[in-house]
């Protein structure tokens, strides 16, 4: 690194947007869960794509590696620098323009640092909907969601970020700005290169903007929380609704009594708004497109609950009740965090295999790992569960060997059912060992070749995804 590297960087982005002091760097150097403790050389906060390009050029020239970062809400350390004090964090949060909201073509072109919530609000202000929804949407950014191919609670109906992204703009390893912000649903012109950057976790380039599909929002929604006895009934009721009425279910979220107890203990939810406690809870949301459908659907749901042998169900009767039901689901991670450091597993299986996965995990977990509990919750409708190990006592640390054994046990169970060891959170720095263990060798080899072709000097996010 040449002695004037930092000076040139400051000239490129403005002195105030190069942070090098310890206090300024800390919020960018540590992940939100407080699990990783990185130490960067500095943090740059460009406000325009040209500044990102100049930053990349300077880094390439000086062999400085780059860690792109959005809202820093990731779960796998993909946006956290290592401890070497040699890596530069490029935070995109100042690039937040809505370049265009095209209500005729149903899409919006926005910069990487715009938060998901801001994007949702902008779409809603124009009568449309940006459907990607995750608990951290107030801070999580479009660029982060694209780069990690984020999922969340509406994937069942609208797909994940890959399904919602029409085009991207990215800065490549030599500082080239590649603009592929086309609004096309059909574009068969060779390899679909943007797909490499979507879910690429900043290892191939820096996504600086994206063109995102928008949808027409339903005229209203029916949201309910039900206490249920079996996970199988959650799946069969979903299939029943989809079979009779098509793709109207937006969310089908499951959580266990362990999640409910954590919410009670750590987040003040002494009672859920139900009459009793249950082994499992289902939070569902159905999109309605005709005024007046609410009453019909309220009846249908009660009837469906009967078939599920569920006699404890509450429907949201107002927007604030709806928000209260969602807050329960969205607080589960926070309730877990208050318990101590959890060992998270974000896995997916074919939806039909969900009951088998849960049975396999529950059958032997607590006899093998007596100091821990397993907290299962997630997006049961699309086959993605969070199977997290938490300490039984607040603040007790799960030892590294136990954590590794638990992870192997959970991932092996998912993979044995033709599932994945990472459904929506990505790989980051935390799951590279699992990549080596579970990813098919030819796929790993192709990924290495792609990385070498697009980032020959290895300046983008080393140590993430592939090692």
Please identify, using beta-carbon distances, which residue of 56 and 328 lies nearer to ligand 2HG. 328
Using CB under 6 A as the binding rule, whether residue 35 contacts ligand 2HG is answered as: no
**428, 169 Cβ separation under 8 angstroms:** no
Using CB under 6 A as the binding rule, whether residue 331 contacts ligand 2HG is answered as: no
Output the six-digit token pair for 244.
Answer: 């009779």
- Closest residue to ligand 2HG, based on beta-carbon distance: 333
Report, in Å, the least distance between residue 230 CB and ligand 2HG.
21
Please identify, using beta-carbon distances, which residue of 313 and 343 lies nearer to ligand 2HG. 343
Report, in Å, the least distance between residue 154 CB and ligand 2HG.
11
Residue listed under structure tokens 């609670």: 153
Report, in Å, the least distance between residue 79 CB and ligand 2HG.
16
Query: What does the alpha-carbon distance between residue 191 and residue 395 come to, in Å, rounded to a whole number?
Result: 49
Query: What does the alpha-carbon distance between residue 231 and residue 467 come to, in Å, rounded to a whole number?
Result: 37
Please identify, using beta-carbon distances, which residue of 390 and 466 lies nearer to ligand 2HG. 390
Query: What does the alpha-carbon distance between residue 17 and residue 163 come to, in Å, rounded to a whole number?
Result: 34
Output the six-digit token pair for 30.
Answer: 């540590």
Interface pattern 115-154 for ligand 2HG (x via CB under 6 A): --------------------x-------------------
Count of residues interacting with ligand 2HG (CB under 6 A): 6
Please identify, using beta-carbon distances, which residue of 154 and 388 lies nearer to ligand 2HG. 388
Report, in Å, the least distance between residue 366 CB and ligand 2HG.
19
Please identify, using beta-carbon distances, which residue of 135 and 302 lies nearer to ligand 2HG. 135
**CB 279: neighbour CB atoms within 10 A?**
13
Considering only residues 248 through 267, tell me which ones interact with ligand 2HG, judged by CB under 6 A. Answer: none
Using CB under 6 A as the binding rule, whether residue 435 contacts ligand 2HG is answered as: no
Using CB under 6 A as the binding rule, whether residue 344 contacts ligand 2HG is answered as: yes
Report, in Å, the least distance between residue 156 CB and ligand 2HG.
13
Using CB under 6 A as the binding rule, whether residue 373 contacts ligand 2HG is answered as: no
Let me know if 215 is exposed, middle or buried by CB neighbors in 10 A (0-12, 13-18, 19+).
middle
Instruction: Identify the DSSP state of 425.
Output: S
**CB 247: neighbour CB atoms within 10 A?**
11
DSSP string, 19-80: E-SHHHHHHHHB-TTS--B---SEEE--SSHHHHHHHHHHHHHHT--EEEESSS--SSSTT-
Report, in Å, the least distance between residue 388 CB and ligand 2HG.
5
Which listed residue (55, 223, 259, 388) binds ligand 2HG by CB under 6 A? 388
Using CB under 6 A as the binding rule, whether residue 378 contacts ligand 2HG is answered as: yes
**384, 134 Cβ separation under 8 angstroms:** no
Residue listed under structure tokens 């609704």: 241
Report, in Å, the least distance between residue 208 CB and ligand 2HG.
25
Query: What does the alpha-carbon distance between residue 72 and residue 139 come to, in Å, rounded to a whole number?
Result: 8
Give φ, ψ of 175 to 5 degrees. 90, 0
Report, in Å, the least distance between residue 51 CB and ligand 2HG.
32
Query: What does the alpha-carbon distance between residue 424 and residue 405 come to, in Å, rounded to a whole number?
Result: 22
Report, in Å, the least distance between residue 155 CB and ligand 2HG.
10
Please identify, using beta-carbon distances, which residue of 47 and 333 lies nearer to ligand 2HG. 333
Which listed residue (333, 407, 422, 434) binds ligand 2HG by CB under 6 A? 333
Please identify, using beta-carbon distances, which residue of 136 and 208 lies nearer to ligand 2HG. 136
**377, 255 Cβ separation under 8 angstroms:** yes
SS3 444: helix
**CB 174: neighbour CB atoms within 10 A?**
13
Report, in Å, the least distance between residue 351 CB and ligand 2HG.
16
Alpha helices in 175-255 (DSSP H): 194-197, 231-245
CA separation (Å) from 105 to 166, 239, 249, 276, 453? 11, 32, 24, 48, 34
Please identify, using beta-carbon distances, which residue of 64 and 116 lies nearer to ligand 2HG. 116
Report, in Å, the least distance between residue 250 CB and ligand 2HG.
15
Please identify, using beta-carbon distances, which residue of 35 and 274 lies nearer to ligand 2HG. 35
Output the six-digit token pair for 144.
Answer: 């982060």
Using CB under 6 A as the binding rule, whether residue 386 contacts ligand 2HG is answered as: yes
Instruction: Identify the DSSP state of 214.
Output: -
Please identify, using beta-carbon distances, which residue of 87 and 339 lies nearer to ligand 2HG. 339
Contact positions toward ligand 2HG, by CB under 6 A?
135, 333, 344, 378, 386, 388
């Amino acid at each position: 690194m040449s002695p004037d590297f930092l000076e040139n960087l400051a000239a490129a982005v403005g002195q105030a947007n190069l942070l090098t002091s310890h206090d300024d760097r800390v919020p960018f150097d540590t992940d939100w869960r407080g699990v990783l403790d990185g130490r960067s050389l500095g943090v740059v906060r460009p406000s325009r794509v040209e500044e990102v390009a100049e930053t990349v050029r300077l880094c390439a020239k000086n062999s400085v590696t780059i860690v792109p970062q959005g809202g820093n809400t990731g779960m796998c350390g993909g946006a956290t620098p290592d401890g070497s004090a040699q890596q530069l964090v490029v935070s995109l949060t100042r690039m937040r323009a809505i370049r265009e909201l095209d209500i005729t073509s149903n899409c919006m072109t926005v910069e990487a640092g715009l938060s998901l919530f801001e994007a949702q609000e902008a779409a809603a202000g124009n009568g449309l909907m940006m459907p990607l929804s995750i608990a951290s949407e107030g801070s999580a950014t479009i660029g982060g969601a694209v780069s990690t191919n984020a999922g969340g609670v509406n994937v069942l109906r609208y797909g994940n970020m890959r399904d919602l992204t029409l085009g991207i703009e990215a800065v490549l390893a030599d500082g080239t700005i590649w603009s592929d912000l086309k609004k096309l649903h059909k574009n068969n012109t060779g390899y679909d290169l943007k797909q490499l950057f979507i879910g690429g976790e900043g290892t191939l380039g820096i996504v600086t903007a994206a063109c995102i599909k928008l949808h027409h929002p339903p005229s209203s929604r029916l949201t309910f929380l039900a206490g249920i006895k079996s996970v199988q009934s959650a799946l069969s009721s979903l299939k029943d609704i989809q079979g009779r009425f098509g793709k109207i279910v937006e969310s089908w979220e499951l959580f266990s009594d362990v999640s409910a107890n954590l919410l009670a203990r750590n987040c003040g939810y002494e009672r859920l708004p139900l009459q009793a406690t249950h082994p499992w809870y289902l939070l569902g949301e159905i999109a309605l497109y005709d005024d007046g459908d609410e009453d019909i659907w309220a009846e249908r749901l009660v009837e469906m609950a009967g078939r599920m042998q569920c006699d404890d169900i509450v429907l949201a009767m107002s927007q604030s009740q709806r928000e209260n039901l969602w807050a329960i689901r969205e607080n589960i991670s926070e309730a877990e965090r208050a318990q101590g450091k959890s060992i998270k597993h974000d896995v997916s299986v074919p939806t039909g295999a969900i009951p088998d996965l849960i049975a396999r995990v529950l059958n032997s977990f607590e006899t093998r790992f007596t100091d821990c509990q397993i907290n299962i919750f997630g997006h049961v409708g699309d086959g993605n569960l969070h199977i997290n190990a938490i300490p039984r006592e607040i603040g007790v640390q799960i030892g590294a060997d136990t954590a590794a054994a638990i992870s192997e046990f959970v991932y092996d169970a998912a993979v044995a059912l033709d599932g994945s060891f990472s459904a929506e959170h990505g790989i980051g720095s935390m799951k590279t060992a699992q990549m080596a263990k579970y990813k098919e060798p030819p796929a790993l080899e192709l990924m290495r070749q792609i990385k070498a072709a697009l980032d020959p000097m290895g300046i983008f996010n080393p140590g993430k995804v592939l090692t």
